[in-house]
Amino acid sequence: MTQAGMTGGPAGTGAGTAVERYLKLIGEADEYGAVDLVLDLIDEGVPAEDVLLRVVAAGQRRVGELWAAGDWSVAREHGATAVSERAVAAIAGRVRSKPTRGRVTVACADGEYHALPTRMLAEVLRLRGWRVDFLGASVPGPHLITHLHQTGPDVVALGCMIATRLPRAHATIAACRAVGVPVLAGGAAFGADGRFARLLGADAWAPTADAAADRLAAGLPSFAAGSDGAVHLGDEEYGYLTRHRAEVLARVLDLLRESYAPMGGYSERQLEHTAEDLGHIADFLAAALYVHDAILFTDFVTWTCEVLSARKVPAESVVLGLRLFRDVLADCPRAGALLAEGMEAATASRPSGGSPPRVT
């Protein structure tokens, strides 16, 4: 994408300052200010795609960082995202484009609620002349397939941000391809290199919205090729963990109570949040088992440690949680190996100076 228009515009509208001003406005949930800012940029001649990807998306990226660092609350982050949704809608309303290409259905994977990146992809495709049906967040498989039968698009663009949705995204990809519609996969869940997109049978993958538009312009097969004996994903351990998730979590919680004294003083809500956090560990572990990928799990552990340390929760608590999972899942060697790698990652992410955690 060209830098022109972003840096060469009138004073004060360069990309950097525009992003800063945009971030400030959405941080205050100032919808009118944010909408005026993006529409002014467009009126000044900045291409709408650049405004979407280099201002709105860039601003949202900062929002994510600010939340992860503990600087912004969940409420503020959600407020900012809602304003960005309005800004994207305003851009879509201001810039019309004539459909000159085929028809694309854009949807978030089942269970995926982070719709904004996928929504922006939908707008970029619309700007590039596609006829786009955007189905929104968390689209259940049957809903999507009904839509495909009713509208007959040339391709489905499926967005998935959180790796725990990969097993359901896999089912959706397979269902789309079974009705003959090729799938382009995108979003962080498919891996920085798109390896999970290929693994789950997507016909194409793109790391960014503009790359996705380029990839679609290059053409996909008009009929999804038959999968040659699709990779068998998931295994006994994955099946065990997903079927017995509740029991596993209950046992880990019990062990945690025994080995972590402060838990005795937890309120019911604190206990519930702890159970939720342990639930995330279980879900990422299951996803890593499903796609046979340790990095998926260690990345999650490292990220969690960073988020927690920003909230003054020591990485040791993550190491402890992982160790208890390993104890409970003693009969699952693959899960055990993943958890061991997770513990190593958590230990490595620990800020220096603390006492070394005991890993047995």
Partner 1 sequence: MRGATGSTNAGAARATPGDMAALLDGSDEGIVLCDAGGVVLLANAAAARLAPEIVPGRPVPPQLDPAGSSMVTYGGRVIRVRTEAAGDHRALYLSEAPSLPRRAEFLLEAARRLFASLHPRRCARAAVDLGTEFLCDLAVVVLPPATNRRVEWIRAVAGHPGPEEGVMPLSTALRVPGLTDALAGLTHGSGGRQDAGAVPDWLLPEGFGPAVDLLVFPLPGNSVPAGAMALVRRAGRPAFDDEALAMVRDLASRAGAALSAASLFREQSAVNAILIDDLLPPDLPEVEGMRLAGRLRSSQQAGAVGGDFYDVYMSETGAGHDSGIGIVERPPLIILGDVCGKGARAAVLAGQVRQSLRALLLLESRPVQLLELLNRSLLASPAPNSYVTLVLAALRVAPDEHVLVDLAVAGHPPPLVLRRDGTVEEAPARGSLLGALKKTVVRPATVDLAPGEVCLLYSDGITEAFGGPTRREMFGEERLKEALASCAGMPVDALVERLEQISSEWLAGGQQDDRALLAVRAGGHDPATGTETGTATVATPGAMTVWAETTG
Q: Which residues from 275-304 bind partner 1, rule CB under 8 A?
A: 275-280, 284, 300, 303-304
By CB under 8 A, tell whether 31 contacts partner 1.
yes
| 192 binding partner 1? (CB under 8 A) | yes
Residue 44 vs 247, nearer CB to partner 1: 247
Q: By CB under 8 A, tell whether 336 contacts partner 1.
A: no
Stretch that binds partner 1, among 7-15, 91-99, 218-226, 319-327 (CB under 8 A): 218-226
Question: Quick check: 129 binds partner 1 (CB under 8 A)?
Answer: no
**Smallest distance, Å, CB 53 to partner 1?**
6
Question: Which of 335, 342, 295, 300 shows the shortest CA–CA distance to 320?
Answer: 342
Binding to partner 1 by residue 207, rule CB under 8 A?
A: yes
Residue 227 makes contact with partner 1 by CB under 8 A: no
Whole-angstrom distance, CA of residue 226 vs CA of residue 25: 49
Tell me if 149 contacts partner 1 by CB under 8 A.
yes
Among 206-214, 258-266, 288-296, 321-329, which window interacts with partner 1 (CB under 8 A)? 206-214
- Smallest distance, partner 1 to C-beta of residue 96, A: 20
**CA-to-CA separations, 158 to 103, 173, 181, 301, 335, in angstroms, rounded:** 14, 8, 12, 26, 28
Binding flag, residue 346, partner 1 (CB under 8 A): no
Total residues contacting partner 1 (rule CB under 8 A)? 95
Residue 217 makes contact with partner 1 by CB under 8 A? no
286: which 2 tokens? Answer: 């299951």
Q: Is 241 helix (H, G, I), strand (E, B) or coil?
A: helix
State the number of CA atoms in the 13 A half-sphere of 160 facing the CB: 32
Binding of partner 1 by 121 (CB under 8 A): yes
Q: Does 209 bind partner 1 (CB under 8 A)?
A: yes
Does position 67 bind partner 1 by CB under 8 A?
yes
Interaction of residue 234 with partner 1, rule CB under 8 A: no
Candidate residues 116, 122, 169, 286; the one interacting with partner 1 per rule CB under 8 A: 116
Q: How far is the CB of 242 from partner 1 (least distance, A)?
A: 10
Cα angle 140-276-355, degrees, rounded to a multiple of 5: 140
* By CB under 8 A, residue 75 contacts partner 1: yes
Strand order in the sheet with 103-108: 131-134, 103-108, 155-159, 183-186, 204-206
Question: Contact 161/176 with Cβ under 8 angstroms?
Answer: no
Beta strands in the chain (DSSP E): 103-108, 131-134, 155-159, 183-186, 204-206
User: Residue 145 or 199: which CB sits closer to partner 1?
Assistant: 145
Q: What letter represents residue 323's amino acid?
A: R
Q: How far is the CB of 155 from partner 1 (least distance, A)?
A: 10
Alpha carbon distances (Å) from 275 to 37, 198, 351: 42, 33, 25
The span from the CA of 203 to the CA of 192, in Å, is 17
SS3 breakdown of the chain: % helix, strand, coil, rounded to 5?
A: 60, 5, 30
Contact flag: residue 150 with partner 1 (CB under 8 A): yes
Which segment (11-19, 43-51, 217-225, 286-294) binds partner 1 by CB under 8 A?
217-225
Q: Do residues 151 and 102 touch, judged by C-beta distance below 8 A?
A: no
30 binds partner 1, rule: CB under 8 A: yes
Task: Report whether 34 contacts 86 (CB < 8 A).
Answer: yes
CA atoms within 13 A on the CB side of 30: 12
- 168 touches partner 1 by CB under 8 A: yes
Does position 273 interact with partner 1 (CB under 8 A)? The reply is yes
Q: Which of 10, 61, 217, 254 binds partner 1 (CB under 8 A)?
A: 61
Q: Using the rule CB under 8 A, which residue among 236, 254, 272, 331 binds partner 1?
A: 272
From 14-22, 82-90, 323-331, 344-352, give the range in contact with partner 1 by CB under 8 A.
Answer: 82-90
